[in-house]
Amino acid sequence: MIEAPAKHVISRIRSSYNHFSEKEKLIADYIIENREEMVHYTINQIADDLTIAEATVFRFCKRLGFKGFQAMKIALASETTNPIEDIHETITPEDNDLEITEKIFQANIRALESTREIQSRETIDKVMEYLVEAKRIFFYGGGGSGVLAQDAQHKFIRTGVEAHAYQDSHLQLMTATQLQEKDVCVIISHTGANKDMLDIAEEAKKNGARTIAITNFAKSPLTKLVDVSLYTVAQETEYRSESLASRIAALSIIDSLFVNYSVKRKEQSQEATKKVREAISRKRM
């Protein structure tokens, strides 16, 4: 499994904050409050300041997707040197309609920018290798992520590859049992902990299909099961869960995969798109 690129410590912390344990929130708050001085701190000093075990700090760094405390500290030092503008999108009852609208747009822009920054060439190259070599591509997602799976199918049909997406959880699992070695299974799950999606990943692996996850959490049951993961970054506010903003980021990831595939399979995609356009044109008056 390819690991997530280790970038954007603060964004990762804020994105996952509501899912942290009490001790993890303690560490998260400490890092955010002392981000500029963290480069000078040792793991022992932080553990002593918070009255927790060094192992707890180390596990927190691993949960964020880093190899350890030192790797996280280096990434944080880079952020401090080249800070990202901290724009507050917290919505309050006192905001007028335009202010709320502007904050929603800003939250989406931030999610897109942060998600773009954590992508790595190695990961994208591996995902595209899987997709280009695939005989069939199956997109899976539950709830809101199911809509993203359908969008992915809608796009990839235009490339000429056999693309599938199912909404019913029983059909999803049934089709997963029929996956083959030349197939690719793309699972979209914000938390990476949806049981239906985990069952699909296990079935796909059992049948030898290549597996890709699109998720918001670097360390989750799903990322442990799949071959490669693509990550989104989004933050939660009182009136808007992080999954809403991450959906916009996930759509952009799907768009980028679609365009990359179309470029690599140019003639096939052009022919398929031509057929689709001709057929759809007959639907218009």
The single residue listed with the structure tokens 């190899």 is: 67
Q: Per-domain residue ranges for the chain?
A: 9-81, 117-281
* CATH architecture group of domain 9-81: Orthogonal Bundle (1.10)
- pLDDT tens per residue across span 76-87: 887 765 544 444
- pLDDT tens per residue across span 7-54: 578 878 877 787 889 999 999 999 989 988 887 889 999 999 999 999
How far apart are the C-alpha atoms of 189 and 213, rounded to whole Å? 7
pLDDT at 98: 95
What are the backbone angles phi and psi of residue 128, rounded to the nearest 5°?
-65, -35
**Who's near 69: CB < 8 A, 6+ residues apart?**
43, 57, 58, 61
pLDDT at 157: 97
Determine the topology of domain 117-281 in CATH: Rossmann fold (3.40.50)
Residue with more model confidence, 250 or 5: 250
How far apart are the C-alpha atoms of 88 and 71, rounded to whole Å? 27
Q: How far is CA 125 from CA 43, 116, 169, 183, in A?
A: 35, 15, 30, 17
pLDDT at 243: 65
How far apart are the C-alpha atoms of 186 and 210, rounded to whole Å? 9
- pLDDT tens per residue across span 212-260: 999 987 678 999 999 999 998 876 655 555 567 788 999 999 999 999 9
What are the backbone angles phi and psi of residue 263, rounded to the nearest 5°?
-70, -45
Average pLDDT estimate for 124-135: 98
Model pTM?
0.76
Torsion over CA: 213, 218, 222, 226 (sign): positive
The single residue listed with the structure tokens 């490669």 is: 228
pLDDT at 46: 94
